Structure 1
Amino acid sequence: MTLTFPQVAVGGATLSAHDVSAWFGTHKVLERVNLTMAAGEVTALIGPSGCGKSTFLRILNRMHELVPSASLAGEVRLDETDIYEPGRRITDTRKRIGMVFQKPNPFPAMTIAENVLAGLKLTGTKVSRGGRVDLVEECLTRASLWHEVKDRLREPGGALSGGQQQRLCIARSLAVRPDVLLMDEPCSALDPTSTRRVEETIHLLRSEVTIVIVTHNMQQAARVSQQCAFFLAEQGTPGQIVESGPTDEIFDSPSDERTNDYVNGRFG
């Protein structure tokens, strides 16, 4: 079933990678990746395991550099700002580029409301007491979770179902007003009903934040994204983008036979 939503003004920012290469020690894992992820669109990163999709996603908000042996070359720009420019604080980048991980990770000792607000302290964002109450409702609403938990805000975040926990993590990311939301296989651990709700949330959010999602589910990529990039690492070579473009074209009329084989399930 095709999901349709009304068109509203586009928010978010354009994220772009320019000749990005990456290493772990001496092992090169990405080779000269160029990709523009536009505001108002969901960009899906697809490809078999081990081709560098998740590494690339982590480069987009400077998580790659937390690995002691990691290094990279090239540029990542948020609109016109290079997020790796010398002197730029990593917290400034994380505030503008949020991340939702494969496994829901609410803070178990915190209530639902406290989980939503957790990022404020980490990023040094100040909000009044009354503003916090409004922010909790706003972010849970944007994450399509408010009506399910509005009477349970003082319960632990870990008491929610898996799908609810994932939407709580989305709400937590939204609380610091990011321009971009990165998602690393956000539905891989969820049942079909929870997956649909997360996908509906993605559709609703894309007019407000730029979304980049890694997924191994080709049907999901086709459902949620407007742009798609196919990554591949062949015979021990670093991962690179074989082709990218509008999702419909990647799935219906790809220019490279390897892309056609992958999206039709012939390998990977």
Structure 2
Amino acid sequence: MPTDEDFADDFRGSELEAVGVSAWFGKRKVLQRVSLTMPPGSVTALIGPSGCGKSTFLRILNRMHELVASASLAGEVLLDGVDVYEPGGRITETRRRIGMVFQKPNPFPAMSIADNVTAGLKLTGAKASRDEKHHLIEQCLTKAGLWKEVRDRLKQPGGALSGGQQQRLCIARSLAVRPDVLLMDEPCSALDPTSTRRIEETIAELRDEVTIVIVTHNMQQAARVSQQCAFFLAEDGTPGQIVEAGPTRDIFDDPVDPRTADYVNGRFG
């Protein structure tokens, strides 16, 4: 039986590093030797036009790429120096430590708000008392910026929430299993400006506790929420690759490659 310390407020971030990652769907190569360090205590934004491999790269980071039957890859994904694709590594443990929030909110619609938050505990085999679960629910909904809005209706279905609230519920659900890294695939693309602002506030509050990697097409959002940025590009049918990566301020204000300058200033993409 876990003690209350198991549900303490100290999330930890981990360093995530891709080393020479290439990817294929069947015979079509979609990523070419992508290397990127995603440090703890920061948000790393992946930017670039549609079709350049950003979401594929994100899915590779927590082993979701292999869910596609024709998918394959080469290279390494190191979580605190250990390759998540190492033979014998458990996929469930990788996905617990590296959580994912998708573009479209996907709470379990018939499940209560409270049960949505704790749903991951069953998948990971974690056990908790009623008091521990209540503490965890309050803690994760607070971290996701949702507690004050839903604390009086925790037994209502998660599907009854607004789109922005559903997305924050999905963030709370991801946090409940104590991830080291949280991946976000365009988490605000379907949301209104008010909900987008709240999600961005949540990201800012979480970055000291969990390493965050976000795919976004919104250049203003990338500039607002991230400290590191990587610009992906696929040109003339070639696989996607990183043109330039570094501190967000440098990518936006003083890029090295003219293609980066053109993209962040809206001249293509």
User: Is the pair's TM-score, using the shorter chain for normalization, greater than 0.5?
Assistant: yes
Counterparts of 1:257 and 1:135, CA distance in 2: 47
Which aligned segments of 4 or more residues in structure 1 are displaced greater than 4 angstroms? none
SS of the aligned residue for 2:235 comes to coil
Indicate if the aligned counterparts of 1:10 and 1:39 stay in contact, CA closer than 8 A.
no
* 2:142 is equivalent to residue 118 of structure 1: no
Unmatched runs of 5 consecutive residues or more in structure 1: 1-8
Q: Which residue matches 1:4? A: none
The aligned counterpart of 2:86 is: 85
- Backbone CA RMSD of aligned residues: 0.9
Residues 17-75 of structure 1, C-alpha deviations (whole Å, 9 max, x = no match): 00000000000000000000000000000000000000000000000001000000000
What amino acid maps onto 1:61 in structure 2? N
Shift of 1:109: 1.2
> Equivalent residue for 2:155?
154
Aligned residues: 260
State the AA in 1 paired with 2:101.
V
SS of 1:188's equivalent in the other structure is: coil
Q: For 2:40 and 2:11, how far apart are their aligned partners in 1?
A: 7
CA apart distance, 1:133: 0.8
> Deviation at 1:122?
1.2
CA distance in 2, matches of 1:26, 1:10: 40
Partner of 1:41: 42
Structure 1 residue aligned with 2:224: 223
SS at match of 1:195: helix
Alignment correspondent of 2:107:
106
CA deviation vs aligned residue, 1:233-253 (integer Å, no higher than 9, x gap)? 000000000000000000000
Q: Match of 2:74?
A: 73
Could you tell me the TM-score, scaled by structure 2's length? Answer: 0.96
- Contact 1:42–1:227 (Cα < 8 Å) also in 2: yes
Paired with 2:221 and 2:99, the residues of 1 have a C-alpha distance of 21
| Conserved 8 A contact 2:11-2:178 | no
Match of 2:6 in 1: none
Give the equivalent residue in structure 2 for 1:56.
57
Within 5 A, what are the aligned runs for 1:142-181? 142-181=143-182
Query: Are residues 10 and 258 of structure 1, via their aligned partners in 2, closer, same or farther at CA, if it must alter by over 3 Å?
Result: farther
Q: Percent identity at matched positions?
A: 80
SS at match of 2:50: coil
Instruction: For 2:126 and 2:230, locate their aligned partners in 1 and report how far apart those are by CA, in whole Å.
Output: 34
What is the match of residue 3 of structure 1? none
Output the CA distance in 1 between the equivalents of 2:128 and 2:259. Answer: 50
For 2:129 and 2:209, the matched residues in 1 are separated by 23
CA distance, structure 2, for counterparts of residue 128 and residue 245 of structure 1 = 44
Q: Note the residue ranges of structure 2 that are not aligned, 5 or more in a row.
A: 1-9
